[in-house]
């Protein structure tokens, strides 16, 4: 894999003439994170991008895991309800899973990153049934959650399963939190049998907001891309007050390459999702005015790839 984690590499990838930058060590829960902060200057406006994380890959990997565990320990009851509610409303999601599972007698299904999964409990119950088990670096905190979403604790880079134990793997909104997806794909391949299927759902590479910024022109928004690279990079993103995590940006084609390397043929490959995004600013606008915060985006936000090995 190729990464850009040095200041010079990031600056060389910026496709914008007028910007400033500064090096800053951001300390979160006694964890020191070296970052490069880019500020884009667009006329009279200054737009600060997500801080780019600098350093060696093993160190970034340790920081990423530590922040993820800390975030979940601080908000043990918080689930990724926004994504799951969205998945229930999005007509394309259920047919995707139902068509894939229908008439295929999968006996053992596992999902990496199930605690913050894109997939709702309703889909797991109705579509995957008792065949499902999830894996996450942090497991659900109580028996009620565990009953809804069976889950074991572990790392995607060191799956706690024997070779060939499964015939279906779901990797849902997880690769953005994995620094070494090449190692994760090797492990996924190891625990799947010779007639297995992998489904990956994650953010469309073209949609990455960390690569640019939104610009309002009249009553509409347009997305201006300022960072151009096929290499993986990392930013520090906030979930809210005191909650940070490292966002891993891997080009989606990389995932397809990994599948092919492990003898999975690509059988589905498409993007989906709305091209209107809602901007929430509850401090200034009441909920009833939410429609006025819709903005048009250029790319559909999600990408799905299915790989089959036979």
Residues in the chain: 310
Please indicate, yes or no, if residue 138 is contained in any of the structural domains.
yes
Higher-confidence residue of 98 and 69: namely 69
Q: For the segment 15-40, what is each residue's pLDDT rounded down to a tens digit?
A: 999 999 999 999 988 899 999 999 99
Q: In this structure, what are the phi and psi dihedrals at residue 284, rounded to the nearest 5 degrees?
A: -115, -30
Strands (E), the chain: 19-28, 31-42, 45-48, 52-53, 109-112, 132-136, 151-153, 166-172, 192-203, 212-217, 220-225, 233-240, 243-249, 265-272, 276-278, 294-296, 302-309
Please indicate, yes or no, if residue 47 is contained in any of the structural domains.
no
Percent of the chain with pLDDT over 70: 73
Number of domains in the chain: 1
| Per-residue pLDDT at 306 exceeds 70 | yes
Please indicate, yes or no, if residue 73 is contained in any of the structural domains.
no
Calpha distance 278→269 (Å, rounded): 26
Give the distance from CA 271 to its chain's centroid. 14
Across 44-55, average pLDDT: 92
For 276, the domain range is 81-309
Please indicate, yes or no, if residue 11 is contained in any of the structural domains.
no
What pairing do the DSSP bridges indicate for beta strands 45-48 and 109-112?
Answer: unpaired
Please indicate, yes or no, if residue 43 is contained in any of the structural domains.
no
Please indicate, yes or no, if residue 15 is contained in any of the structural domains.
no
Please indicate, yes or no, if residue 305 is contained in any of the structural domains.
yes
Q: What CATH code is carried by the domain that includes residue 145?
A: 3.40.50.150
- Least reliable range by pLDDT among 53-67, 85-99, 169-183, 188-202: 85-99
Q: For the segment 111-128, what is each residue's pLDDT rounded down to a tens digit?
A: 898 776 666 666 677 666
Please indicate, yes or no, if residue 89 is contained in any of the structural domains.
yes
Q: For the segment 175-233, what is each residue's pLDDT rounded down to a tens digit?
A: 888 999 999 999 999 999 998 999 998 888 887 777 887 777 776 777 788 898 989 99
């Amino acid at each position: 894999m190729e990464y850009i984690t040095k200041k010079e590499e990031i600056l060389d990838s910026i496709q914008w003439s007028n910007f400033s930058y500064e090096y800053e060590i951001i300390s979160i829960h006694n964890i020191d994170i070296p970052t490069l902060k880019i500020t884009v200057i667009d006329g009279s406006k200054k737009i600060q991008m997500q801080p780019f994380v600098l350093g060696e890959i093993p160190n970034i990997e340790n920081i990423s895991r530590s922040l993820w565990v800390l975030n979940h320990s601080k908000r043990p009851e918080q689930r990724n309800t926004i994504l799951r509610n969205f998945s229930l409303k999005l007509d394309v999601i259920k047919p995707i899973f139902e068509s894939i599972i229908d008439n295929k007698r999968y006996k053992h299904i596992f999902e990496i990153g199930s605690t913050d999964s894109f997939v709702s409990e309703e889909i797991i119950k109705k579509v995957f049934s008792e065949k499902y088990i999830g894996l996450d670096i942090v497991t659900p905190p109580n028996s009620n959650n565990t009953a809804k979403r069976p889950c074991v604790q572990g790392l995607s880079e060191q799956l706690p399963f024997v070779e060939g134990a499964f015939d279906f793997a779901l990797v849902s909104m997880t690769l953005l939190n994995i620094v070494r997806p090449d190692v994760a794909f090797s492990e996924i391949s190891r625990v799947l049998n010779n007639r297995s299927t992998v489904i990956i759902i994650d953010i469309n590479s073209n949609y990455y907001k960390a690569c640019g910024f939104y610009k309002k022109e009249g009553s509409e928004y347009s997305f201006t891309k300022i960072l151009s690279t096929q290499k993986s990079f990392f930013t520090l993103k906030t979930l809210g007050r005191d909650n940070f995590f490292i966002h891993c940006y891997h080009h989606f084609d990389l995932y397809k390459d990994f599948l092919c390397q492990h003898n999975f043929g690509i059988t589905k490959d498409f993007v989906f999702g709305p091209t209107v995004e809602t901007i929430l600013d509850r401090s200034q606008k009441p909920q009833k005015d939410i429609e006025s915060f819709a903005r048009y985006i250029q790319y559909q936000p999600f990408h799905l790839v299915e790989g089959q090995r036979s």
